[in-house]
């Protein structure tokens, strides 16, 4: 057995453990009774500790060094796999095992309290857990920064977006904040000059909302032999490529919240399912960072499912499922509701124009907290002030403010920029797909999604982590990552 083949065997074992962790984490969020929290926290802490030991073992470093002289003889996928193995090992080797387990326990405990604190609108309840997670996250960031020769924030960012750069993010976000206020004002003025969009009257039973979600998921191409849809406090996509788990949350007064949230997560799910099966349980077969992952969810939700053609396809199905009648259930009314610009405090309910502002706010706040420039106890005030400055909205409560997202309480620091990076990538990819499929709009209107997702599987899903994010985007879209396609998309949809 060569050094490289032994590495593949070791990473296959590691991948299986990590997949078990993923399913247990999904279960804790969607199915587990509250009384199981303590036991599950311990299970996850121990399994994460085992995964860390497998990855950070000294033999891995020795095998990586031994495989290096033969790297030139490897094929492109094997060569990329070795690169990804090395990147993951450097992250793991930098962090002591006891710190990994301590952070895991803190994450599980904090997340469990957040699930009670959010509906109770009680930030004080969640604050101790948030402080503990941040304290341990800082420790992780410092040791990883030293090992990776980068800043603490970029060390955390690299966990979600390999080779991610705050210089690039700051430039892109500055460009967005440069054109966003004027575009928002113009879109609101244009919208205000029209009659108000028609609103269907609820309540909308959850059973019918679920049926609508499942119907559209199936028509778009989700494989229910390898996945399922459930409920959780915060919608997410988890599980494994062969067992994809989606969750959503319902509002009986507005069926579109769960519907569009589910379609967003379906974009994630289709990406997971489309990853190269021949490289399962190997790093090169995994998804290429969260910016690409978010691009797939926003590609489906924003580029496809808020497209005018999609309304022609979806509106008749929804009218039948909900037993609706009249103009309010027509395609025009549905489309106008889907592209309605309505600045609000909730990120997951945000319209397409204001959504980037929510992400930019969180990016700024998490960098400030990680650097010690913002105390967690001061988060509610900083949150309210920042959102008011960006989109003119002030949350009415912490539930609408700093309690709305699970990420920080669950230990996901350095994650938020990937949402808007994903929106930029999605705009570039959709423009490229339109060039490759000239009748794409007509296909969407007919509910024919096969050609589009064949294109995505070829250019994005099936590539796994073969390429860097920059190279993947440039090859698929023909251009390096930028803001031009995103701005052009917004202006065409909302101002023309």
pLDDT, position 402: 97
The CA distance from 253 to 261, in Å, is: 15
- Do 289 and 421 contact (CB within 8 A), yes or no? no
231 SS3 class = strand
- Do 465 and 163 contact (CB within 8 A), yes or no? no
Q: Could you give the maximum distance between any two Cα atoms of the chain, in Å?
A: 71
- pLDDT one-digit tens code per residue, 160-210: 999 999 999 999 999 999 999 999 999 999 999 999 889 999 899 999 999
Residue 76, CA distances (Å) to 72, 82, 285, 424 in order: 9, 10, 13, 28
Residue 458, CA distances (Å) to 272, 275, 423, 464, 475 in order: 14, 10, 20, 10, 11
Angle at 402 between CA 397 and CA 403, to 5 degrees: 80
Mean pLDDT by 10 residues, the chain (496 residues): 93 96 92 92 92 93 93 92 95 92 93 94 98 98 95 96 96 97 96 92 96 97 96 89 95 94 96 97 96 97 97 97 96 95 92 96 98 97 96 96 95 96 98 98 97 98 97 98 98 95
pLDDT, position 197: 87
Nearest Cα neighbor of 108 from 19, 13, 34 is 34
Question: Which listed residue (154, 265, 301, 352) is catalytic?
Answer: 265
pLDDT, position 70: 82
Told to judge if 327 belongs to the known catalytic residues of this protein, a careful annotator would answer no
The CA distance from 205 to 496, in Å, is: 36
pLDDT, position 143: 96
């Amino acid at each position: 057995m060569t050094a490289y083949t032994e590495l593949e065997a070791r990473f296959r074992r590691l991948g299986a453990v990590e997949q078990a962790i993923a399913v247990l984490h999904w279960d804790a969020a969607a199915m587990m009774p509250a009384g199981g929290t303590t036991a599950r926290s311990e299970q996850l802490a121990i399994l994460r500790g085992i995964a860390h030991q497998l990855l950070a073992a000294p033999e891995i470093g020795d095998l990586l060094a031994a495989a290096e002289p033969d790297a030139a003889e490897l094929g492109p996928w094997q060569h990329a796999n070795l690169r990804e193995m090395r990147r993951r090992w450097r992250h793991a080797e930098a962090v002591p095992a006891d710190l990994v387990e301590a952070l895991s326990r803190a994450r599980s405990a904090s997340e469990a309290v957040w699930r009670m604190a959010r509906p109770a609108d009680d930030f004080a309840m969640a604050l101790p857990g948030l402080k503990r997670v941040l304290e341990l996250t800082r420790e992780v960031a410092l040791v990883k920064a030293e090992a990776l020769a980068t800043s603490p924030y970029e060390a955390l960012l690299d966990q979600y977006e390999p080779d991610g750069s705050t210089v690039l993010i700051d430039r892109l976000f500055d460009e967005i904040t440069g054109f966003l206020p004027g575009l928002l004002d113009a879109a609101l003025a244009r919208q205000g000059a029209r009659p108000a969009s028609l609103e269907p009257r609820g309540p909308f039973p959850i059973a019918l909302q679920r049926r609508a979600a499942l119907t559209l998921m199936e028509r778009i191409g989700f494989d229910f032999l390898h996945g399922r849809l459930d409920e959780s406090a915060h919608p997410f996509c988890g599980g494994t490529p062969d067992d994809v788990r989606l969750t959503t949350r319902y509002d009986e007064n507005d069926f579109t919240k769960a519907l569009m949230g589910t379609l967003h997560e379906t974009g994630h799910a289709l990406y997971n399912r489309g990853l190269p099966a021949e490289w399962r349980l190997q790093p090169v077969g995994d998804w290429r960072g969260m910016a690409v992952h978010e691009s797939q969810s926003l590609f489906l939700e924003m580029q496809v499912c808020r497209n005018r053609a999609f309304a022609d396809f979806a509106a008749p199905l929804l009218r039948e499922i909900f037993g609706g009648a009249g103009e309010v259930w027509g395609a025009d009314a549905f489309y106008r509701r889907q592209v309605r610009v309505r600045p609000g405090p909730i990120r997951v309910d945000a319209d397409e124009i204001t959504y980037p502002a929510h992400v930019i706010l969180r990016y700024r706040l998490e960098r400030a907290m990680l650097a010690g420039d913002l105390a967690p106890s001061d988060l509610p005030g900083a949150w309210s002030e920042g959102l008011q400055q960006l989109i003119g909205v002030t949350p009415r409560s912490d539930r609408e403010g700093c309690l709305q997202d699970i990420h920080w309480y669950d230990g996901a620091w350095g994650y938020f920029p990937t949402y808007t990076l994903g929106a930029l990538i999605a705009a570039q990819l959709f423009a490229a797909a339109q060039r490759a499929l000239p009748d794409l709009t007509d296909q969407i209107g007919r509910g024919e999604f096969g050609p589009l997702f064949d294109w995505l599987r070829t250019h994005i899903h099936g590539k796994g982590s073969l390429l860097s994010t920059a190279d993947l985007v440039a090859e698929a879209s023909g251009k390096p990552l930028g803001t031009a396609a995103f701005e052009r998309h917004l202006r065409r949809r909302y101002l023309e």
